[in-house]
Chains A and B, each alone.
Chain A
Amino acid sequence: MSQPSSELMIEARAVEKWYPNGFQALRGASLTVRRGEVVVIMGPSGSGKSTFIRTFNALEDFQKGSITVDGIVLSNDLRNIDAIRREVGMVFQQFNLFPHLSVLDNLTLAPVLVRKRPKAEVEKQARALLERVGIAEQAGKYPGQLSGGQQQRVAIARALCMEPRILLFDEPTSALDPEMVREVLEVMQDLAADDITMVVVTHEVKFARHVAHRVVLMADGEVVEEAEPEVFFTNPSHERTRRFLDQIL
C-alpha cells in the first residue's frame, strides 16, 4: 500500500448544508484527506454521507463552512467549479453510464470535449483503461448490454480517463449482486495502490479494513469518529461508532 504524502487534497471545515426544503443534512462536518490517501466513510442511512462527498465536487452546494480541493477554494464561482470537477472524478451507486453511447465513447466523451485532447489518443488511453479494469473486449458494446459489475467497472474507467487526482465513490457496490461486488472491489483495491486519492462511501468492511488508510464514521450530518481501520473496528473511541459497528458486523 502506498503511503499518503502530507500534501492536503481535500480540506472540509465545519460544513453545513440545508436542502431547499429546509432540512439540514450537514451539521458542521469536517474532514481532511491527504494526497494518495484512501478514506472510507461509513455511517447509518441518512447520515449525510452522500451529501458530504457530493459537496467535494460541487454537485451539492453548502451554506456554511469551507472546502478546499487540491488547493482550489470551493465557491460559487463557475470557473472554479469547472476546474474542480476536472480534478475530481466520481463513481455513483447507479453507475450512471450514458446508455446512448458505446462503452468506448462513454470513456472518451469528456476528455475530448473538456480537455480538448485528440480523439485517437484518448481512444488509445481508454482501451488501456478498459484493459486495466478487465473488460477490454466490451469496448464496442452499449452499457445496457453489460452486467452490473461490468457497468460499474466501465464507470470507474470513465472517471479515470479524465485523469483526476481525486476519485469519489458513493456506495459503488450497493446496487450490485453479491458475486459482482468482488470484481469491482478488486479494481478499486488495484487503484488504491496508485498515487490517486480516494474517498469511498461503502459498507464493505473488508475493503475498509484492508485498503483504507483511515475510516470515518458519519452520523446526523457530522463526522463522529476518525481512525485507522484497526482502531476503528476494534477499539473505537465513541459510543456512536460502537453502536453502528454492532449493527453491521
Chain B
Amino acid sequence: MQVLLRRLRSELFATPADGALSVALITLLSLGAFGFLRWALTQAQWAVVKVNSTLFAVGRYPIEQQWRLWLLTALLVAASGATWGLLRAHPRPDRTGVLWPSNDRLALALLALIALAVPFALGLTLAIQSRWWGLLLLLALCRWLAGRYGANLSPTGRRLAALVWPLLYLGGMALISGGLGLVGVPPSEWGGLLLTLLASSFAILLCFPIGVLLALGRRSELPLLRWGSVLYIEFIRGAPLITLLFLGQNILGFLLPGGLAPERVWRAAWVLTFFAAAYLAEAVRSGLAAVPRGQLEAARSLGLSYPKALQHVVLPQALRVALPAMVGQFISLLQDTTLLSLIGLLELLGTARTVMANPAFLGRNGEVYLTLAVLFWGCCAALGLGSRALERRLDPHAVPSAT
C-alpha cells in the first residue's frame, strides 16, 4: 500500500503543474465514465440488442439451417485451440518457451468471462448459453491437448496441420452456402456479423496474393508489367471505395469470367478485394524497399533462381517489415465493409439500420451503435493482437523470451 501510494505520488503529483494536470484529467475521465455508466445502466434499454442478437449475428440466415453455423464455429474454435497449443509446444529454435505463459492464462480467463457473461446478459435461452460454454470448453481442451502432445509432431506433421486452415475455410464456405448435399442458402440471406466477417476474410485472403504480385510488378524491369501495376494501383487509390462499389455492381458482371460474381454480395466482395489489393501493394512495396540489394545478390550467387530467391529470401523479410502496415490495411478493410450497407447489403451496419428503422425500437440508436462499435473493436483487436504475436515470432532480432 505504502509503495503504491509513493508510486502514485511520484507519477501523478511530482510537481504542482503535474498535480494540477493529473487532477484535471482524472476529473474529466471520471465524469465521462460516470456519465456513460449512468446512461448505460439507467437510460439505455438493451432490449433492442437482446431481441435482435441473432439478427446481428447472422442476419436472416434460416433458423433451421443455423446448426451449420454452430458446427462451423465449433470447428473454428477447435482449430484455433489446437493451433494455439501447437505454437506454444513449438517455440522458436533459438528461444525457450513455456507451455502456459501468464498471458495465455489471462486470455483464457477473459474468454471464459465473455462466454459466461455475454450470453447471459443477452438473455439467451439456457440451451444456447450452454453451447457457448461448450465452445469455451472445446477451446480449452484443444489448447491443452495440442500443448501437451503437440511437441511430438514432426515438421511434416506440422505442415500438414497448417493445411487445416485453408481446408476449413473452403469447407466453411460450403457449409454456409450449401452444396454437397446441403440445402443452398443464397448470399442474399446472409447478414450481420456473419456477412461482415465473410466479406472481409474473403477480401483479406485474396487481396494478399494480388497485392504481393502488384508490388512485385511495380518493381519489375518489364515496362508493360511495371506500368500496368502502377496504373492499376494509382487508379484504385484515386477513387473512393463507395464509387467503386457502385461501379462494381454495374460492371463487374461483365469483367469477371461468367459465374464468379453472379450475386451482389460476391460482386461487392471482389470490389473490396481489388480495392484492398492496391493499398496492400504499397505496403508490400515499402517492405521490399527495406530489404537490402545484397540479399537478392547473395541468394542469386548461391544459385537460387529469381522466383526462389524471392520466395525464400526477399519476400519473407519484406513481408515481415510490411506486416504492421498490412494489418493496418486489413483493419481498415474490415471497417470499410460497413460501406456495403450503402449498396443495400445487410452486413452489421445494414442490419443495424433495419433494426433502428423498426418502430418498436425507435430512438434506440445509441445502444445499437455502441454494440456495433464494440463488435468491430473486438474484431480489430483480435487482428492487432494476432499480428503482434506473429511479428514477435518472426523477428530475428528479438531477445529470447517466454512469449
Contacts and interface: CB of A to CB of B under 8 A. Distances in A.
Does A pair with B?
A: yes
- Which residue, of A92, A100, A144, A162, has the highest number of chain B Cβ atoms within 10 A? A100
Q: Which among B297, B303, B316, B397 has the highest number of chain A CB atoms within 10 Å?
A: B303
A109 B396 contact: no
A96 interface: yes
Contacts, number: 75
Nearest to B400: A145
Contact of A100 (B297, B300, B316): B316
Given A99-B317, A145-B94, A109 B298 contact: no
Interface string A152-189: 00010011001000000000000000000000000000
Interface string A103-127: 0000001100111000000000000
Interface string B279-299: 000000000000010110111
A231 interface: no
A142 B397 contact: yes
B298 A100 contact: no
B226 to A, nearest CB: 15
A82 B305 CA distance: 7
A141 B300 contact: no
A57 interface: yes
A96 B94 contact: no
B294 A110 contact: no
B302 A96 contact: no
B320 A96 contact: no
Interface in B76-109: 93-94
Given A96-B295, A113-B308, A113-B312, A140 B93 contact: yes
B303 A144 contact: no
B380 interface: no
Tell me the interface secondary structure of chain B in the complex. helix
A110 B303 CA distance: 7
B74 to A, nearest CB: 36
Given A92-B294, A98-B313, A102-B93, A142 B396 contact: yes
A66 interface: no
Nearest to B296: A96
B396 A96 contact: no
B304 interface: yes
A57 B299 CA distance: 12
B394 interface: yes
A155 B304 CA distance: 16
B301 interface: yes
Interface in A12-44: none
A135 to B, nearest CB: 15
A43 to B, nearest CB: 21
A100 B301 contact: no
A53 to B, nearest CB: 11
Contacts of B304: 109-110, 113-114
A37 B300 CA distance: 24
Contacts of A142: 94, 396-397
Nearest to A98: B313
A224 to B, nearest CB: 27
A114 B396 contact: no
B154 to A, nearest CB: 12
B302 A89 contact: yes
A72 interface: no
Nearest to A102: B93
B302 to A, nearest CB: 4
A48 interface: no
Given A89-B301, A142-B396, A96 B317 contact: no
A90 B301 CA distance: 6
Given A100-B320, A113-B308, A140-B93, A94 B294 contact: yes
A227 to B, nearest CB: 29
Interface string B381-403: 00000000000001011000000
Contact of A158 (B302, B316, B320, B397): B302
Given A96-B295, A142-B397, A110 B94 contact: no
Interface of B: 93-94, 292, 294-295, 297-305, 308, 312-313, 316-317, 320, 394, 396-397
Interface of A: 57, 59, 82, 85-86, 88-90, 92, 94, 96-100, 102, 109-110, 113-115, 140-145, 155, 158-159, 162
Given A59-B297, A89-B302, A92-B298, 5 more contacts: A59-B301, A89-B301, A114-B308, A141-B94, A159-B302
15 contacts: A57-B301, A59-B297, A85-B300, A85-B301, A88-B301, A98-B298, A100-B316, A109-B312, A109-B313, A110-B302, A110-B303, A113-B312, A114-B303, A114-B308, A140-B94
Q: Which 10 A-B pairs have the closest CB atoms?
A: A96-B298, A110-B302, A96-B294, A90-B301, A114-B303, A142-B396, A85-B303, A86-B303, A144-B397, A99-B396
